[in-house]
Structure 1
């Protein structure tokens, strides 16, 4: 029974010491005092006989192998001190982890803000895309409408063109025929020989008609009469055979325009000279060639050395 009391006393003392170490810690002297106090509280004053018996019993139990209380308490104190150091280290680690958690929390909060901004930007871009899509759709509809309108206009034009009557075509053909004006004629109608010299200028009559489209040239008079207002091209070619000079000029309504001249002193000389001019003529204007006085020209019907030609380049409106 006494042994059980001793063990309980030791357990109570151990629990108290541990509690004190955790709460604030006790040094070894305080522990010893606490143990003595516990001994006094658990063993009140007894008679000398009881003390003697208790001493004898305690000695016996100690002899039985019960560990030294002070040594055990010192070992427990060292263990508690070590655990307190571990607790401080763990507390510092926890504090550090809390700081890391706070930093991570701030980072997460910042990232959430960035995500909200990106979400707003994406939403805005989606709105812009929807607007652009609507604009493109509208443009496509406009293009389709324009294409339809263009096809309708083309069909209408084609229909109008197909409705041109035969009489209109004939009128167009006639108008084009009226604009087909060209002629070319040689000087000699037959054989060969000289024209000139004469004491005065004469109008040359080119009787060998090679071409006379539109019949604007008169081979009897040698005069071309303009049937249309327009721009005309005229050209003369003269041939000299012998010492006498050959000179001829183109006239319009009695006005000298250009000259073709050839002069060779040798008796057997044979030379050609030519010249041309573009004239703006009114309806009824006349163009012809005159041989100068004292000059002569040669021609051969086989070769047509000396010729007079002209044609309409393009007509002009009456108000031009």
Structure 2
């Protein structure tokens, strides 16, 4: 800008004679200086405006960064709450535990035993299995959550005075309670129940007592049931 103004002035001054230059300088110096002052003031104002615009832009960027940080924080909080809700839903599902099964399907009838050693009974006719906690292939219940559980088991058989009917409730590898019945004739049955404190992964199942028998048919005389009383 300064070079352009100087060059213009040089052209103007160079195109007139010395006498004319003197007259020109007498006639117009105040106008030229006024223009220069106005241009300088305009440049100063323009620079001030640019600095102000830059400051406003920087302030706006700072505000946007703050807003983005707040949005990210809220999103993180929403994700955390969603995770907690999903966890509570999962816990609720896990805590819904109950099963009930009998030894054979309703269209079959069979006597199981006697065996020379303790034998795990596998209850094939599963009526209820909330939480999918009982395995009908192995006869084993697996605790999905730590808590107090209640179990009941029944055995039934035809008495002939040669074999009784009895079974153990087993926790992991511990024989806990047994029910047993023996009579000379007629149909005999017995039952038992107990409450257990189980940790996650503990297993519970029924083993037929040595040299005893159990019978089952569509009446479902030999059964195994359990449910979660409350988690701990």
TM-score bracket for this pair, using the shorter chain length: 0.5 to 0.7
Q: Which position in structure 2 is the counterpart of 1:77?
A: none
**Post-superposition CA distance 1:55-102 (Å, at most 9, x none):** xxxxxxxxxxxxxxxxxxxxxxxxxxxxxxxxxxxxxxxxxxxxxxxx
Which residue is 1:234 aligned to?
A: 151
- Identify which of 118, 122, 142 aligns with 1:225: 142
Does residue 1:251 correspond to 2:167, yes or no?
no
Q: How does 1:88-167 map to 2 (within 5 A)?
A: none
2:192 to 275, 296, 299: 275
More helix by share: 1
Residue matched to 2:216:
299
CA contact (8 A) 2:165 2:189 kept: no
Q: Does 1:186 align with 2:102?
A: yes
Q: Give the number of the structure with larger relative contact order, counting CA–CA contacts within 8 Å between residues 6 or more apart.
A: 2
Greater share of strand: 2
Q: Write out per-residue CA displacement over residues 2-43 of structure 1, whole angstroms, 9 at most, x where no aligned residue.
A: xxxxxxxxxxxxxxxxxxxxxxxxxxxxxxxxxxxxxxxxxx
Once the two structures are superposed, the pairs formed by residues 49-60 of structure 1 within 5 Å of their partners are none
Runs of 4+ in 1 over 4 A off after TM superposition: 163-170
Instruction: Give the TM-score of the pair, scaled to structure 2.
Output: 0.61
CA distance in 1, matches of 2:190, 2:208: 14
The structure whose Rg is larger is 1
1:176 aligns to 2:92 (yes or no): yes
Which structure 1 segments of 5+ residues have no match? Answer: 1-162
1:311 aligns with 2:227: yes
| Residue 310 (structure 1) shift | 0.6
Q: Deviations over 1:131-150 (max 9, x none)?
A: xxxxxxxxxxxxxxxxxxxx
Match of 2:184 among 260, 265, 275: 265
Mark the runs of 5 or more structure 2 residues left unpaired by the alignment: 1-77
CA RMSD in angstroms comes to 1.8
Q: Separation in 1 of the partners of 2:202 and 2:88? A: 25
Tell me if 1:286 matches 2:170.
no
CA deviation profile, 1:294-318 (whole Å, cap 9, x unmatched): 1001101x211110001111111xx
Residue of structure 1 equivalent to 2:3: none
The structural deviation recorded for 1:187 is: 0.4
In 2, the alpha carbon distance for the partners of 1:167 and 1:205 equals: 39
Preserved CA contact (<8 Å) 2:152 2:224: yes
How far apart are the structure 2 equivalents of 1:283 and 1:166? Answer: 25
SS class of match (1:173): helix
Residue 242 of structure 1 and its aligned partner are, at CA, apart by 2.5
Report how far residue 206 of structure 1 moved.
0.5
1:143-194 deviation per Cα after TM superposition (whole angstroms, max 9, x unaligned): xxxxxxxxxxxxxxxxxxxx99666544423221111111111001340120
